[in-house]
């Protein structure tokens, strides 16, 4: 588990090898120039000590200033590249989520709240900022340490020991803190999302939590989740504190020993004053670079945690799409099941048992039965939303597994329990901006579900914005929009779960009459307690405890 986030990180940055190599290229040049500055300062001090003021001294001062300017320019170039990388990360992540979320298999998100998965997109921001910081600060710091150790070794062999000690220290700190640092960061992130998820629940049900006792419950549950979050946050901070403590001890030892030893070498004339000052500047640069790396480990953990959280979504199995060539074999659609069973991922007993039925094009079928008899599950199986645990599902005498689901879904209209309008205009909610839908088809759909008069009352008509879940709509109008959406493409099959239960009786019955009219050749499979469906359908399938109890053709 601990190796996976690191592997994901390397896979992420490998997508932009060219940009990464440019960042390191600029970092190498900036590092070399930065470390040449102490040499220039050393030469200037030597000139000053000798009491000579010459053109060479002026040239050195100018070169040092130019070096500082050039380092600044290289830093700006690095910033431009990392900004491009941040934009690329955001774009890739957004399209990865937009592509995958609608296609994740039912089994993968069973007992999960899909909006919580979508919330993980916000980890993209941590990856953007963290990766930029790691690439610039870590690359510069590591190169400064390496170049600094090489340069110091030229002054005196003692500094070679300093370099080896430094490398061993960094290895020990990383080796023994990586696993606990990442584990605690992942657990902290888990509870962070639990807090965010609960706040989302409070916002979604804000009217329910306005009562004093309900409000207290919301706060108490939030408190319990926050306590868990803080506990893991403290554990993670303990790792960071340990690393920083080791850094402080290291700085104290190195600063004291190098000042003493450096002074000793100068007194014994093994180094001159210029070399001593230059070496101390290099040592300070190296220590600051070490400090950057140690402090940057928290950013490193944050990036790995964010990559892992997003990776858990992208790892979910998606529906497979086939490349079948279509000559529109679905002119008339016959559905048939053979000993079909279905069991939920965590269930011991099958929800559907030995379902055998055949549905011809144009049939109008009502599914009835007690709650829990399997009506909704059967509708979702036949509509391709979920797949059977065992048995076979045939479409036009071909096995379900060979059918291109994407093509099949272009011929069906659905209203599944819990489906709501999305944030967008009324027109977008009905047509999804499909350019092939004509104004005549749109008017036909609106008239059919009795939305026309309501649309005329809206100041912006079809361009009126709908909030998420259709919050500003009446439940009746929200259902009518879903009904218009389901028929706008004149599909060959309609799958409905309680499509008119929010409407008044007169409107519901008129819409039911339209849906079941012989003038509409589509097949209808509906689950509802509205008696008008029962009176007008041509077939009733009664389910009992997951089996077909009766199949009545009228």
Checking if the pLDDT of 202 tops 80, the result is yes
Burial tier of 402 (Cβ tally within 10 Å: 0-12, 13-18, 19+): exposed
User: How many Å apart are CA 170 and CA 297, to the nearest integer?
Assistant: 11
Checking if the pLDDT of 2 tops 60, the result is no
Q: What are the angstrom distances between the C-alpha of 7 and each of 10, 324, 500? A: 5, 35, 51
User: How many Å apart are CA 446 and CA 484, to the nearest integer?
Assistant: 6
Give the highest mean pLDDT range of 158-172, 179-193, 360-374, 396-410.
360-374
What's the structural domain count of the chain?
2
Q: How confident is the model at residue 398 (pLDDT cuts 50, 70, 90)?
A: low
Checking if the pLDDT of 255 tops 80, the result is no
Whether residues 343 and 275 share a domain: the answer is: no
> What token pair was written down for 179?
């696993």
Residue 362 Ramachandran class (φ > 0 left, ψ -120 to 50 alpha, else beta): left
Whether residues 546 and 460 share a domain: the answer is: yes
Q: What percent helix, strand, coil does the chain show, rounded to 5?
A: 65, 10, 25
DSSP state of 402: G
Point out the domain boundary residue: 314, 343, 374: 314
Q: Kindly tell me the number of DSSP H helices and DSSP E strands found in the chain.
A: 18, 12
Coil vs helix vs strand at 339? strand
pLDDT for the residue numbered 44 = 63
What is the DSSP secondary-structure string of 423-478? Answer: SEEHHHHHHTT-TT--HHHHHHHHHHTT-HHHHHHSTTGGG-EE-GGGTTS-HHHH
Domain that holds residue 146: 3-108+115-314
Q: Are 474 and 506 a contacting pair, CB within 8 Å?
A: no
pLDDT for the residue numbered 296 = 81
Whether residues 193 and 298 share a domain: the answer is: yes
The CATH number linked to 204 is: 1.20.1560.10
Whether residues 306 and 393 share a domain: the answer is: no
Please give the average per-residue pLDDT across 438-456, as a whole number. Answer: 95
Handedness of CA 36, 37, 43, 45 (dihedral sign): negative
What is the DSSP secondary-structure string of 343-367? Answer: --TT-SS-SEEEEEEEE-TT-EEEE
Place of tokens 């690393």: 243
Whether residues 444 and 528 share a domain: the answer is: yes
**pTM (2 d.p.):** 0.78
Place of tokens 């759909």: 445
Sorted by sequence, the CB contacts under 8 Å of residue 474 that are 6+ apart come out as none
The answer to the question of residue 323 being in a domain is: no
Please give the average per-residue pLDDT across 519-540, as a whole number. Answer: 93
The CATH number linked to 451 is: 3.40.50.300
Q: Are 202 and 218 a contacting pair, CB within 8 Å?
A: yes
The answer to the question of residue 81 being in a domain is: yes
Whether residues 373 and 499 share a domain: the answer is: yes
Alpha helices in 205-272 (DSSP H): 212-267
Q: Are 526 and 510 a contacting pair, CB within 8 Å?
A: no
Sorted by sequence, the CB contacts under 8 Å of residue 489 that are 6+ apart come out as 410, 413, 434, 437
The answer to the question of residue 325 being in a domain is: no
Sorted by sequence, the CB contacts under 8 Å of residue 349 that are 6+ apart come out as 343
Sorted by sequence, the CB contacts under 8 Å of residue 11 that are 6+ apart come out as none
**Strand 364-369 to strand 523-527: parallel, antiparallel, or no bridges (unpaired)?**
parallel
Please give the average per-residue pLDDT across 110-137, as a whole number. Answer: 85
Whether residues 383 and 304 share a domain: the answer is: no
The answer to the question of residue 304 being in a domain is: yes
Whether residues 69 and 165 share a domain: the answer is: yes
Sorted by sequence, the CB contacts under 8 Å of residue 518 that are 6+ apart come out as none
Give the highest mean pLDDT range of 169-178, 271-280, 410-419.
410-419
Count the residues in the chain: 554
The answer to the question of residue 129 being in a domain is: yes
Whether residues 309 and 339 share a domain: the answer is: no
- Each residue's pLDDT tens digit, 422-437: 999 999 999 999 999 9
pLDDT for the residue numbered 295 = 79
Whether residues 371 and 273 share a domain: the answer is: no
Please give the average per-residue pLDDT across 492-514, as a whole number. Answer: 94
The answer to the question of residue 43 being in a domain is: yes
**Strand 424-425 to strand 390-395: parallel, antiparallel, or no bridges (unpaired)?**
unpaired
Point out the domain boundary residue: 314, 349, 383: 314
The answer to the question of residue 151 being in a domain is: yes
Point out the domain boundary residue: 248, 279, 314: 314
- Sheet-wide strand order for 547-553: 412-415, 493-497, 523-527, 364-369, 539-544, 547-553
Give the highest mean pLDDT range of 241-250, 277-286, 299-308, 311-320.
299-308
Q: Are 296 and 67 a contacting pair, CB within 8 Å?
A: no
Whether residues 86 and 29 share a domain: the answer is: yes
Burial tier of 53 (Cβ tally within 10 Å: 0-12, 13-18, 19+): exposed
Euclidean distance between the first and the last CA atom of the chain, given in angstroms as a whole number = 59
The answer to the question of residue 321 being in a domain is: no
User: How many Å apart are CA 206 and CA 489, to the nearest integer?
Assistant: 37
Whether residues 286 and 351 share a domain: the answer is: no
């Amino acid at each position: 588990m601990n190796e996976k986030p690191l592997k994901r990180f390397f896979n992420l940055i490998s997508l932009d090898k060219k940009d990464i190599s440019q960042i390191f290229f600029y970092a190498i040049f900036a590092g070399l120039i930065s470390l040449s500055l102490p040499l220039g300062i050393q030469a200037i001090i030597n000139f000053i000590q000798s009491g000579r003021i010459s053109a060479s001294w002026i040239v050195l001062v100018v070169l040092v200033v130019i070096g500082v300017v050039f380092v600044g320019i290289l830093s700006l170039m690095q910033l431009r590249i990392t900004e491009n990388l941040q934009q690329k990360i955001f774009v890739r992540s957004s399209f990865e989520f937009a592509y995958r979320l609608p296609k994740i298999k039912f089994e993968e998100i069973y007992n999960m709240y899909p909006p919580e998965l979508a919330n993980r997109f916000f980890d993209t921001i941590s990856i953007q900022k963290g990766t930029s910081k790691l690439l610039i600060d870590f690359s510069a710091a590591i190169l400064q340490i390496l170049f600094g150790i090489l340069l110091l070794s030229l002054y005196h062999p003692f500094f070679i020991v300093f370099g080896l000690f430094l490398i061993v220290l960094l290895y020990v700190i990383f080796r023994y803190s990586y696993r606990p640092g990442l584990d605690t960061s992942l657990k902290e992130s888990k509870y962070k999302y639990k807090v965010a998820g609960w706040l989302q629940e409070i916002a979604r049900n804000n009217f329910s939590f306005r009562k004093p006792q309900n409000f207290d419950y919301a706060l108490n549950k939030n408190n319990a989740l926050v306590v868990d979050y803080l506990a893991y946050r403290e554990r993670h901070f303990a790792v960071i504190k340990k690393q920083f403590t080791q850094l402080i001890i290291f700085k104290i030892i190195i600063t004291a020993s190098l000042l003493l030893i450096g002074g000793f070498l100068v007194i014994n004339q093994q180094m001159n004053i210029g070399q001593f000052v230059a070496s101390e500047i290099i040592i300070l640069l190296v220590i600051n670079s070490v400090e950057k790396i140690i402090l940057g480990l928290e950013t490193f953990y944050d990036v790995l945690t964010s990559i892992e959280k997003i990776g858990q979504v992208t790892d979910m199995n998606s529906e497979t799409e086939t490349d079948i060539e279509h000559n529109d074999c679905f002119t008339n659609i016959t559905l048939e099941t053979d000993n079909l069973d279905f069991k939920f991922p965590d269930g011991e007993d099958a929800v559907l048992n030995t379902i055998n039925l055949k549905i011809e094009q144009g049939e109008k079928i009502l599914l009835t039965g007690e709650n829990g008899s399997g009506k909704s599950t059967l509708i979702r199986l036949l509509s391709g939303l979920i797949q059977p645990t065992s048995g076979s599902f045939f479409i036009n005498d071909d096995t379900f597994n060979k059918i291109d689901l994407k093509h099949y879904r272009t011929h069906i209209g659905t209203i599944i329990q819990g489906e709501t309008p999305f944030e967008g205009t009324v027109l977008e909610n009905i047509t999804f901006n499909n350019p092939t839908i004509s104004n005549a088809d749109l008017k036909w759909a609106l008239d059919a579900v009795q939305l026309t008069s309501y649309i005329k009352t809206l100041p912006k008509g079809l361009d009126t914005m709908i909030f998420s879940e259709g919050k500003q709509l009446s439940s009746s109008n929200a259902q009518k929009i879903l009904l218009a959406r389901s028929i706008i493409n004149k599909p060959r099959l309609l799958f409905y779960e309680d499509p008119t239960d929010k409407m008044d009786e007169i409107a519901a019955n008129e819409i039911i009459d339209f849906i079941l009219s012989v003038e509409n050749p589509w097949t209808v499979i509906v689950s509802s307690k509205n008696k008008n469906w029962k009176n007008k359908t041509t077939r009733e399938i009664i389910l009992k405890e997951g089996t077909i109890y009766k199949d009545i053709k009228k």
